[in-house]
Structure 1
């Protein structure tokens, strides 16, 4: 079954990824794009300063950009994908849900709200049932679902694989690509020949979102995982692909081979955009991997890559990597949309 969808904030960096990923999608037909009021009325090809390495799909380039409001949208859309700035999204998304639209959003607002599903389909698809709680509490006919921050989504699949060993504490240091800040987010003079050991709000997102994603939903209330998480986030001069150094303390004492096998065998989801193997794991013969330039496009940019697994006195340490604007942003929202369609919420 085909679903007509729209992209909110379609001219930005993540919005352009949405357009790219939806081109030729077997389930979703992109029928509407929105942007700021200044772009409304222009064709998408005119409004978008296209930055990606594939051309704008012809049929999308001809779409007229609409204002980002419930009044400006057609009423026959089954799903909206949101890449709005969080301040704008906090105002617009609830209005759209109240008007009956289902919104799969990459924006950071409301990710930690008690009644908003924060979902990675391979990790916690059952959290989608929070939509029933959300509709009861807010009186919405629509629904709001979120994917996590790009740095969180890189780490959490590997942590989910480690929960069988009793995950107790996590320390992570990130090496994050400049595209995570948007096209104009980091100036060339700031990042070339440099590294910036601070990304505003990023550490708190990793420390809280990860515990929500790994938490338990009993049908009425979601309880966060009790592991302690501490993060240090750094911007480095790579274009795409967040690399992270993770130190996980475990109640059990698994071998390195057991840890690798737990990650490599962690199941994907039976959805179009989910890779067959969620986590690719490099063995001891490739201690230098993963690397952003070499590994970010594995699984069409939707696979998490891990390597450098070594024992520590209290658990293991390893590196993990994911493409931050595909698996970490637009691709994650599209995958959540596929989950919504597959489970009958559209």
Structure 2
């Protein structure tokens, strides 16, 4: 039997991506869609203003949108995927978990809370066991699991490969982030065409904190964050999809380009439906990866790396991921698959 799922915030950009990815998923069946009060009671086709480049599934389009509250969602839903704005998620996600729902959330709220697992299944799947601590401390029958920010998820897998092989001591990163990361109405055309915006509110802090939690060690009761400094500079550029990042990693000892490339290329993926194989594609070409050429590799779920160079203190490289697939909707679905595999659903 498929796992019955619902989508909180189903009409937004990430919510639409969740619909696109979940509808054909062999293990999940969409049974509920929620949105704001203004959309509740209308058909999904009417409420969503569909902007994905594949047609809205007919049966999904005819579903009635529900209010985003536990009382409006059937209690036999096995798993909820949340793409709510962070302020809304902060207010309602605990209510759903307390009501017994298991929530895999892309929203930024609670990501660094000590009892909320922040996971990339290929990197730190053991952190999901923090849910046992969460349930014990909060008295929830349900649970709340988070995936990281789209910019964080772009650099953490290659950093995880380097840390496992050599030890990471410091990270500096400068991002070139696509406009879709701001949502459909997030950046106007007059702001971004023929331009670049060297500030994305709150983004640097997310990268600097979330990466250290993701790369930390779980001891059965808490996560000890990676003991390394991380400094980020985040920039918006006129690319539709795909975050490209320039990363400098100080490592514990001398590491050659060949050694770094081998560690990244060999870093294992996960045995989950949505995990790519391999997880990291390493390019020899100095001008790759590029958003238009490489963001859709492995259905948009692969991390691409190139331009690897030695520095005096470690390795510099460029990394790319599709921000709304690997970095948002796909990341939440991967976490949902992990929850099923680990028996939390």
The equivalent of 1:124 in structure 2 is 124
CA distance in 2, matches of 1:276, 1:311: 27
List gaps (5 residues or longer) in structure 2: none
Q: Report the equivalent of 1:166.
A: 167
Whole-Å Cα distance in 2 between the matches of residues 232 and 119 of structure 1? 23
Counterpart-to-counterpart distance in 2, 1:309 and 1:221? 34
State the 1:58 CA deviation: 1.2
Matched residue SS, 2:304: strand
Q: Residue 254 of structure 1: CA displacement?
A: 1.4
Aligned to 1:235: 236
SS at match of 2:234: strand
Runs of 4+ in 1 over 2 A off after TM superposition: none
Secondary structure of the residue aligned to 1:332 is helix
Q: What's 1:27 paired with?
A: 27
Number of the residue aligned with 2:320: 321
- Distance in 2, Cα, partners of 1:299 & 1:78: 28
Count of residues in correspondence between the two structures: 344
DSSP 3-state at the match of 1:327: helix
The match for 1:101 is 101
Partner of 2:262: 261
The answer as to 2:16 corresponding to 1:16 is yes
The yes-or-no answer on 1:343 pairing with 2:342 is yes
Number of the residue aligned with 1:44 = 44
SS of 1:128's partner is: helix
Other-structure match for 1:213: 214
Q: Partner of 2:295 in structure 1?
A: 296
Give structure 1 stretches of 5+ with no counterpart: none
Q: Distance in 2 between matches of 1:218 and 1:288?
A: 41
CA deviation profile, 1:47-68 (whole Å, cap 9, x unmatched): 1111111001111111100000
| 2:235 counterpart SS class | strand
> Map of 1:300-311 to 2, 5 A cutoff?
300-311=299-310
Alpha-carbon separation, structure 1, partners of 2:78 and 2:112: 25
Q: What is the aligned partner in structure 2 of residue 151 from structure 1?
A: 151
RMSD between aligned alpha carbons? Answer: 0.5
TM-score, scaled to structure 1: 0.99
Per the alignment, residue 113 of structure 2 pairs with: 113
SS at match of 1:307: strand
**1:343 CA drift (Å):** 1.1
TM-score by length of 2: 0.99
In structure 2, what is the Cα distance between the partners aligned to 1:80 and 1:40?
Answer: 17
Distance across 2 between alignment mates of 1:24 and 1:248 = 39
Partners of 1:89 and 1:208 in 2: CA distance: 19
Partner deviation per Cα, 1:222-247 (whole Å, 9 max, x = no partner): 10000110000000000000000000
User: 2:67 aligns to what?
Assistant: 67
